[in-house]
Amino acid sequence: MKKKVLFVASLFLATATFAQDGLTSKKGEAYLPEAGDWALGFDANPFLNYAGNMFNGSLNNTLNLPWYSANNTIYGKMYKDETTAYRMQVRIGMGSTSLDGPVQDQGTDSSYVNTGKSSNGFTFIVGGGIEKRRGNTRLQGYYGAEALFGLIGGGNTSTDYGKDLSANDSQGATNAGSARTVKTSGGNGLTFGVNGFIGIEYFVLPKISIGAEYTWGLSFSSTGEVETDSEYFGLTAADAVAIAGGATISNHLVEETNVTSGSGSSFTLDTGNTGSANIKILFHF
């Protein structure tokens, strides 16, 4: 970590030493953003990891990210004027997987049948805020506040078995040992947070900056319960009671839905960074 900090400091020192004094380059290009400019940013961690690994041979250099800057989130700015910018971020993702292959039959012959399994999930994160800036040189300070809202799909997983259950799969009792999972669903998450931030930004080249930022704020998140659909060939608890009373009921296909994971929520009021500032690179245009 110390070597990484030294590397960043060296980068700042080098650019300050070789750059032309003032806020414009030799070509007359402005270093600082102007009213109407846009900015697109990304996490500088991969770049710093690469540089740090070159200097010390370590393969485990990492920087922690604040809660609002999740992996794969795109963030940017729109400058109202030279001292005010609107911040925004968004992440929209979805995915699905499928797998076909043989699994052991639930029957007594221990044979294998072809089975298909699929799962899907989604991620939606959006946030925005306002940023105020200070400074008359290429080293700028800034502060502000922002809010974030996110939905995380817990994902659904379903299995299409290549063979239906039958009497050969019966244990002849309730909650038969041959029960198998057909579908798992739920576990969707919701998150909301507001925080203040403060940081510094240095323009190493015209309209290209590297900065570090700390945050502090509150966040709330909740996770829904997970339900599991299963099936087995046997008797339900109600069937067993009826049989004890003299009824005649044969083993049959039983389908059940049970909550296998409860819902929960959490609330935090804390800094958004753990052990280090969020370091990022921004391009203005």
- For the chain, the domain total comes to 1
Domain contains 133: yes
What's phi and psi for 3, nearest 5 deg? -65, -35
Domain contains 20: yes
Domain contains 123: no
Domain that holds residue 8: 2-92+128-147+196-217+263-284
- CATH number for position 135: 2.40.160
Domain contains 245: no
pTM across the whole model: 0.68
Alpha-carbon gap, residue 36 to 79, rounded angstroms: 5
Under the banding of pLDDT at 50, 70 and 90, the label for residue 64 is very low
Domain contains 142: yes
Domain contains 7: yes
C-alpha closest to that of 127 among 151, 145, 147, 107: 147
Mind listing the pLDDT tens digit for each residue in 205-239?
999 999 888 889 999 999 999 999 998 888 888 88
Domain contains 239: no
Domain contains 26: yes
pLDDT(44) > 90: no
194 alpha carbon, distance to own chain's centre: 17
CB-based contacts of 44-53 (< 8 A; 24+ apart in sequence): 44/210, 44/279, 44/280, 44/281, 45/279, 47/281, 48/4, 48/7, 48/8, 48/279, 51/7, 52/3, 52/4, 52/7
The single residue listed with the structure tokens 């993702």 is 93
